[in-house]
Amino acid sequence: MFRLGLSARVLGIGVTFLLTAWITLVALYYWSNGLSRVATYPSTTQILTIVDVLSGADPQAREKLVMAVSSSVLTAEIERDMSVEPNIREHMEYLPEFSDYRNALGNRLISIRRLDAAGSGARRPRLLAVVIDPIEFRVRLNDGAVARLQTRTPFIVTLFGLPAGLGAGLVGTLFALAAFILLQREIRPLAKLAAAVDRMDPSGEPVQLANIPSRTPETIALVKAFGRLQNRLQSMISGRFALISGVQHDVRSFATRLRLRIDHISDPTEREKAIRDIADMIDLLDNALLTARAGVGALDEELLDLVALVEQEIVDLGASGWNVALGSLPQGRELLVLADRLAVRRILANLVDNAVKYGRVANVALEEHQGMAILSVRDSGPGIADDQIALLFEPFVRSEPSRARKTGGAGLGLAVVRSLAEAQGGAVSVRNHAHGGLIAELSLPLFQLKN
């Protein structure tokens, strides 16, 4: 479908405006130079010459001269029946605009009259009659004969004395200009609607659509439809979050009862497997709930010192038997971020868990770079092909080719990390380290006081 961009519409309005100005200038030139009268009123010299030629010719030659000077604009005739009066509308010989004719012809000028269009044989709309009715000059010749000279406009003119084509062009151009302006005015609400739809976030605050001005019923209906769609999406997301929260609560209760019953398993190996399965199940629920909260914008915000939080988490993970080592940290100062404490702990735990499972050891470091807190977790594993790195952030995708549960987990770790990081204004990336292994980096914006 052919669509006009903003530049094309502005260009169209500009061209239409220039065309309107051009036609208006032509009309002004037409009026100011009296061109509407030129087409109807012959020049004084022309009338005087015709009268002199007819006066000096003998009666036989006059008929030929009358035929010679007659045209579609001016017709000449020698009156034969003086008793027949034409259908006269008004006498105009004493009007100021005909003073030149009176001065040139003197006493020979009998009358200047405007004739009815119907009486002259012209078939024109009555709307145009004021301008296009024929003008008759009655002049007495030297031998007493009377010559009638009728002038008529060879083209249709308007009440303002302009050619009908010029008027139609001017009106059409004005309509086009008005149409372009109306089109531009009606497209502006659609542009605002598109910008508002781009800002829509089912997990955030509703975008106000009522302040989008519009006058056409179609645009108003479209805005209302998008408003209803936004409300339905937010209701669906809120319902999904409530469902996941309820499921997590119930499953945690079942998992707690199962954990109590596991102690009665006599085989230590089977008992340990069962404990790991229940722990994986609880971790899966925690990841799902945090992701759902991030999706609806329900994460808490508090001022956290990442240095203290990372130190404490690494100590706790090491005490739990994880092979994790703490590298460089900013010394003697805090790295403050505005984030959800539980979400940050889950991000760190998932990154360390992936590094230990697939790279045997997790080396954690924290630094500041260009207003961002950078948390890096590096493992000592074999790494992964560069074209496979993007797949690690997809749900239920793991770096090992098998889906077997040898390393535990369901492949949600990095997907959850990305969702939680982006929900807090951060980002996460994974790349192969130059000296082997993978390194995952989490970046969160540092808290800054605004003046």
- The residue ranges of every structural domain in the chain are 6-33+163-183, 35-151, 201-298, 299-445
For residue 75, give the DSSP letter: E
Q: Is 349 helix (H, G, I), strand (E, B) or coil?
A: helix
> What's 120-162 look like in SS3?
CCCCCCHHHHHHHCCEEEEEECCCCCEEEEEECCCCCECCCCC
Using CA atoms, how far residue 257 sits from 238, 243, 251, 359, 372, in Å, is: 29, 22, 10, 34, 43
pTM for this prediction: 0.48
Using CA atoms, how far residue 431 sits from 33, 270, 341, 435, 436, in Å, is: 82, 37, 26, 12, 10
CA distance 146 to 108: 9
Least confident of 346-355, 386-395, 410-419: 410-419
CA distance 73 to 96: 23
List pLDDT tens digits, range 223-239: 888 888 888 887 877 77
List pLDDT tens digits, range 55-79: 888 878 888 888 888 887 788 888 8
Backbone torsions φ then ψ of 79, nearest 5 degrees: -70, 135
CB atoms within 10 A of CB 24: 13
pLDDT for the residue numbered 94: 81
pLDDT band at 30 (very low <50, low <70, confident <90, very high): low
- Please give the torsion angle defined by the CA atoms of residues 28, 33, 35 and 36, in that order, rounded to the nearest 10 degrees: 60
The structure tokens listed for 155 are: 């083209």
CA distance 279 to 283: 6
Residue with tokens 């735990």: 349
Q: At what angle do helices 44-56 and 59-69 cross, to 10 degrees?
A: 150
Which of these CATH numbers, 3.10.450, 3.30.70, 3.30.450, 3.40.50, describes 35-151?
A: 3.30.450
CA distance 155 to 32: 19
Which of these CATH numbers, 3.40.50.300, 3.30.750.80, 3.30.70.600, 3.30.565.10, describes 299-445?
A: 3.30.565.10
List pLDDT tens digits, range 182-207: 777 777 787 788 888 888 776 667 78
What number of residues does the chain have? 451
Question: Over 90: is that where the pLDDT of 443 sits?
Answer: yes
Using CA atoms, how far residue 334 sits from 257, 292, 303, 342, 375, in Å, is: 42, 30, 11, 19, 14
Q: Averaging pLDDT over each range in 161-175, 176-190, 371-385, which range is the top one?
A: 371-385
Please say whether the beta carbons of 146 and 78 come within 8 A: yes
Nearest to 101 by CA among 159, 155, 47, 153: 47
List pLDDT tens digits, range 385-408: 888 888 888 776 665 554 334 455
